[in-house]
Chain A
């Protein structure tokens, strides 16, 4: 028996010949760079990758990766990607989207792709603003945000992307930060390896229209106090001195505690494999500045995968009825002969 040797690929192999047209210092550059690092490590040849996007700054992404790609229309990427996966089940399909694309105009498709558990890797670049249309507030912009379309401050309550994903029964949910190179690479790789829909929110700085929205999670001197890194089976500990932790108090509410004051066993231990999604949901509800915001894998569970079930059902029906016979199909029902 011979095993076909895959050529060893590097990040460079995944760079397309297209000039990148994001603004200088946009967070998207880092996400693209980490993606190009992750792709060669997945053991698939280049032609097996498909990148599908909608509309927005992030959605230019497929042009910059030398794989199969589809820059589609606003909000529809999850539906288009579902079609790709149905037609070409042996490809690995990535959906690149933004907060407006995925949660506003495409909210319906996002929800349904996730609940079906189609084998897609959805990466949502959250910059809390509409960048491509030059600065309107988005469904993740905080209340009070002053933007081109909210000169007196936004009065819309924002959505939490992860709450939406968990509410749709996502089987893989994670969060990372654009400039956190190692963490982002690790998170994207985990997403790629998960069977079913993987949903990853990436905090991404739009330095032109919403600069600094995530400085608390990006800046070296701030992030350790404002983020808590989730690790499966480990307690939630954070802070520059790693001297603080999260405990679940009565009423199932998280609270910040000093490690000096409590035993480690009293802290909240992370379980990304919990069938019950309430822990993941509780974590998704922890928002800055009241809490450190969790990053990492919130949830990673196994459930039947839509496109695999489609194939299984096809095979099953062939087994029951035999390979489709057109002659028999045409002649089904009552027939009669005219001499």
Chain B
């Protein structure tokens, strides 16, 4: 059958590898994100540890064949525990000249380059800025193992007889490329075949065509002389358990849904579409049977405002956005803060300022999250470290919000939001429900008359969450300064001073309710590398390498940014030097310096891309040798 994939042992030698990095790149219409996702799936299902880096242009369809329209998907898969999608590429699949031009520099010397030579015509070469065809120049690609494959033609041949238009046939060529790489790394195509059947259940001819293209690619690798060897990457020794692949945005959505369900509450999610946060809205809108109400608001301001209203109404209220949207939400976030209502605001950070780099990653909203509102407006800030950690931190953000009656900001970023990793599926019984308490009785008595005081605080300075519909607890809240205890409007100088200090103290007290900062590596020494958010993988890998080299280096990775863990001051004081690598111009460093009076050293990268492990190690060497 034409869709059979060559799985019988070939007589070509198989070489075993530990970690491999593959990157698929092509025009933004070439289906590279899909190919990369499928490759990730089959590798994860096979048991490798995986880490991915999708990289696509902001334009849905940038001019065809242009350099700006190149879309890439990098996946690292390994028999070891890995934390990053890799610095250098072992196998690069380039579907056109523009993709080759923009990506070949990341291919390691001696690496495998697979190109669709049919796309190297004059028009595409010109659009990519090539004066001559690099595939025909001897020096141009020397040092790489180049495989010129006429993919367009072979794909058309593979699907012949199915009655597809040429355009439809050509759209299958990503699966041809995928099939070839499957063969190259001994991947089992079954999950992809199943996916195609399910995805195109209503268009079986399209499913069939893609399966034929997939088989065509594999068989091409199997039977042609071009590929002398292929490779295997054995399964990784991950902690025992059941796994699935997860992206950060999926994990955030699941974390919120789980927290609400376990707490016996509805989740009201109000959002407005924005890259790279929209997937959270998409995922949650599927979960209505979990009591999730999603509201696609008319703008970011309305989304935040509706979340404030939903929190006042007594449900778990969440909104998510990215930098530009968070700016718009600022005023309503302040309202949530002064009315002391539990709300989680997710900021999936992207390259800024302004519209910036919508599809690229950055960590440049830390100061916005901490200080980006008028007046004294403290708000707890937490950050997820990895795609899987988004699940835990979404729940943690909601827990802090509810138990401390405050809006909480959860920072993720484009890298972990879209990146995927294997995720050990938790036992539902291990998840801890959030304690939600709504008073039903008045909390005040004066002259024999009982009444409700909305701002009467407990020992943690937390006010009660009385919800509309509760008899006898009718009360008013609002954005004007209010008197403590009664919540009535009050402008007196002493009261404003008292309330400002009280709100700050309330947030500061959360430090007693979060874990202490842990450290990987020695408890004291020459250098502490202090990082936060989505850079965890690269930094942890670099520090491990440094330790293996015998350097006196430790790593502390922050997930709680405001308030800081209560022992952080002691931690940073235990090392000769502190290095803070950030994908911004030094925002955590600014805060750490002012908070702990420590002369922390910066390592900033503001390129829309995550750190490479190698550049971190270089910087660590530099700092240690200085």
Interface residues of A (CB under 8 A from B): 16, 18, 45-48, 50, 52, 55, 62-63, 66-73, 76, 79-88, 90-91, 108-109, 111-112, 310, 313-314, 317-318, 320-324, 326-327, 329-339
Contact = CB atoms under 8 A, between A and B. Distances in A.
Interface string B274-302: 00000000000001111111010111011
Given A73-B335, A317-B288, A337 B306 contact: no
Interface stretch (B242-250, B345-353, B492-500, B567-575): B242-250
A338 B241 contact: yes
B45 interface: yes
10 contacts: A63-B489, A71-B480, A79-B298, A83-B309, A84-B312, A88-B467, A91-B468, A326-B258, A329-B254, A334-B45
Contact of A88 (B41, B339, B469): B469
Interface residues of B, number: 74
Given A52-B309, A76-B305, A331-B244, A326 B428 contact: yes
B240 interface: yes
B598 interface: no
A76 B428 contact: no
Interface string B306-321: 1111111111010000
B298 A336 contact: no
Main SS class of interface, B:
mixed
Contact of A338 (B239, B293, B468): B239
Q: Which 6 A-B pairs have the closest CB atoms?
A: A83-B309, A87-B313, A71-B478, A324-B290, A83-B306, A79-B305
Interface of B: 41, 44-47, 191, 235, 237-245, 254, 257-258, 261-262, 266, 268, 270, 287-293, 295, 297-299, 301-303, 305-315, 317, 331-332, 335, 339, 425-426, 428, 431, 467-480, 488-489
Given A18-B489, A336-B44, 7 more contacts: A47-B472, A68-B476, A73-B331, A88-B314, A320-B289, A329-B290, A331-B244
A50 B468 contact: yes
Nearest to B476: A69
B44 A86 contact: no
Contact of A47 (B302, B431, B471, B477): B471
B302 A76 contact: yes
A86 B245 contact: no
B308 A333 contact: no
A333 B335 contact: no
Contacts of B289: 314, 317-318, 320-324
A67 B476 CA distance: 8
A313 B239 CA distance: 40
Contacts of A336: 44-47, 242-244
A324 B474 contact: no
Nearest to A322: B289
Contacts of B287: 324, 329
Contact of B307 (A83, A108, A323, A324): A83
A237 to B, nearest CB: 41
B44 A324 contact: no
Contact of A333 (B245, B288, B431): B245
B332 A73 contact: yes
A324 B309 contact: no
Contact of A330 (B254, B291, B472): B254
A108 B301 CA distance: 10
B302 A79 contact: yes
A86 B335 contact: no
Contacts of B474: 46-47, 66-69
Given A82-B309, A314-B288, A90 B469 contact: yes
Nearest to A14: B474
Contacts of A91: 313, 468-469
A310 B473 contact: no
A79 B306 contact: yes
Contacts of B426: 330
Contacts of B331: 73
A321 B489 CA distance: 48
Contacts of A50: 313, 468
